[in-house]
Structure 1
Amino acid sequence: MILPDLTRRTALTGSAAALVVPALSGPSVAGVRSAGHVEMLEPGAVSQLRGLSIIRHGYWASGSNGVLYQGGRGRSLAVVRPGGAESLDFRGLHAFDADHVLAMSAGPGTASQLWRTRDGGRTWAAEVTNSDPDGFWDALVFARDGRTGYILGDPTGEGFTLLITRDGGASWSRAPQGLIPA
């Protein structure tokens, strides 16, 4: 029987979450190995799972305390924390593939940030930071084309924040007034 996309996606997301959860239930202090400006945390790092993106033969997951996870068939779980992201709450995540990932943190003002890796998590760069001190980003999603993406944030004086990219996240612009209801 062929499952509809939504049912298949739900099943895959649940399965990947089941693989990640054991990494979150370890001791309260994790061992840390240094790898450039990225901390390679031992499995068991303290973080609350916030986001999940399924890729072919694996997944990326995101969490609190600036922690990101990569795992899948045939590879051991990698737990990383980009340098400078230690206090961020990564809630939104979009993995284009095993190497190319966007991770969105949520929080007031400049705590809402968008980070990118193109080398499987070995290096990360903060690419966009929320410039609205009253803003708070909530969600990141991409269309199936992999080029069109949206960041949705809480309403501020100008209404809901909706950032749009049409180039895979290389550039972002705020949606015009009136595109979404006040």
Structure 2
Amino acid sequence: MTRPNTRLLHIELIAFVLVLLTFFMVSTCKKGHEIAPIKSVKVETLLTDSISIRAITVMGNNLGFAGNKGYYGLYDDNKNTVRTNIIKYDSLTPNFRAVASTSDDFLMLSIQSPALLYKTGDQGSMELVYQEADEKVFYDSMTFWNDEEGIAMGDPTDGCLSIIITRDGGKSWSKVPCEKLPPVVDGEAAFAASDTNIAVNGAHTWITTGGKKSRVFYSADKGKKWEVFDTPLIQGKETTGGYSIDFYNDQLGFIIGGDYTDVNSNSKNKAITTDGGRSWSLISDDKGPGYQSCVQFVPRSEGKQLVSVGKTGIWVSNDTGKNWNKLTDDSFYTLRFLNDSTAYVGGNNILAKLYFK
């Protein structure tokens, strides 16, 4: 009788198992994780006070925020507590519409002249790291590409957008000269409505403008070179255009806005791109929400789910903006996701946490 070669059988068994594992992994990758549609939201109030909160940033599980009247603070998720403070500059009380964070620091930027940018100092206090005085100064939004490199943008002061950049973690900031930026059109600016005028993905950066002209400024190299693209959004008045922009990856992006003096109009206030922002198309026109101040892709949704907030309530799309459902009439200015089922929001006199189902 011929004895079986046990070593050969062992090798063949391993090979068979590897084939099965490979097949399983490929099948799983093709299917992806199942994405359940968002049908409802629960609102948990974290803070009520006589302040306007339009700028929030997720810091781990916690939330940094800033508002008007020099007001800023931190929500501690572990302790479920909110710590707040007020900052003044000489006799001025700054109003903040932009915040950002790195692994180590919290930063906040005020809107009007003098623009004041504060960063967490070595002793934990807020230290002034940049200021700019000009009668036209009005900063709208700020974010970071990574822990060292960040960007903030504001309205034009001299024929181009105001863009300042840091390459050292926010310790110092430099304004991009107008000769390195596309010129703006007369009446083109931005809205400090939700601190979401800027979207970043990797080295890619997009800035949405509004007013008499609503376009998208784009940089592929973290703000070194810029180009600009038109949008079909409503424009022509100081109150019209794109208010908020978000990208799911380096190709799929979404803008929402409208006219805040006509909050129920849902014509030409939503646009989508699938080519990295070079071309934009209206979507869900004359349907879904009217004016909204913030839109964000839901994490891990494969770009299918979007949530917007604004005066017309909290709205959700489960099909990349084609159709929308109102979840609640609650009004908020800005939103940031903690994960695919939880988000933070800021609004008029309120800071809250959202739980989606």
> TM (normalized to structure 2)?
0.37
How do 1:77-88 and structure 2 match up within 5 A?
77-84=82-89, 87-88=93-94
Contact 1:101 1:118 in 2 (8 A): no
How much has 1:175 moved relative to structure 2? Answer: 1.2
Provide the residue aligned with 2:105 in structure 1. 100
Provide the residue aligned with 2:175 in structure 1. 174
- Secondary structure of 2:156's match? strand
Extract unaligned runs of 5+ from structure 2. Answer: 1-32, 36-40, 184-357
The residue type paired with residue 47 of structure 2 is: A
Q: Equivalent of 1:89, from 90, 95, 103? A: 95
How much has 1:133 moved relative to structure 2? Answer: 2.9
Structure 1 residues 96 and 159 mapped into 2: Cα distance closer, same or farther (>3 Å)?
same
Extract unaligned runs of 5+ from structure 1. Answer: 4-13, 25-43
How much has 1:82 moved relative to structure 2? Answer: 2.1
- Secondary structure of 1:125's match? strand
Matched, 1:50 2:54: yes
% identical equivalent positions: 22
The residue type paired with residue 60 of structure 1 is: G
Structure 1 residues 159 and 51 mapped into 2: Cα distance closer, same or farther (>3 Å)?
same
Provide the residue aligned with 1:124 in structure 2. 126
- Secondary structure of 2:85's match? strand
How do 1:11-160 and structure 2 match up within 5 A?
21-24=45-48, 44=49, 46-75=50-79, 76-84=81-89, 87-97=93-103, 100-107=105-112, 109-110=113-114, 112-118=115-121, 123-143=125-145, 145-160=146-161
Provide the residue aligned with 2:162 in structure 1. 161
The residue type paired with residue 162 of structure 1 is: I
How much has 1:2 moved relative to structure 2? Answer: 8.0
Looking at structure 2, the residues matched to 161 and 2 of structure 1 have their Cα atoms a distance apart, in angstroms, of 42
Looking at structure 2, the residues matched to 170 and 96 of structure 1 have their Cα atoms a distance apart, in angstroms, of 12
The residue type paired with residue 120 of structure 2 is: T
- The CA deviation string for residues 33-74 of structure 1, in whole angstroms up to 9 with x for no partner, is xxxxxxxxxxx3x21111110011211011111111201322
Structure 1 residues 2 and 53 mapped into 2: Cα distance closer, same or farther (>3 Å)?
farther
- The CA deviation string for residues 118-177 of structure 1, in whole angstroms up to 9 with x for no partner, is 468x5222221113332221111111x221111211112242111111111111112133
- The CA deviation string for residues 85-142 of structure 1, in whole angstroms up to 9 with x for no partner, is 8621111111224x621111111x21x210112468x522222111333222111111
Q: Which has the higher helix share?
A: 1
Looking at structure 1, the residues matched to 122 and 166 of structure 2 have their Cα atoms a distance apart, in angstroms, of 21
Provide the residue aligned with 1:36 in structure 2. none
Number of residue pairs matched by the alignment: 144
Contact 2:58 2:64 in 1 (8 A): yes
Provide the residue aligned with 2:211 in structure 1. none
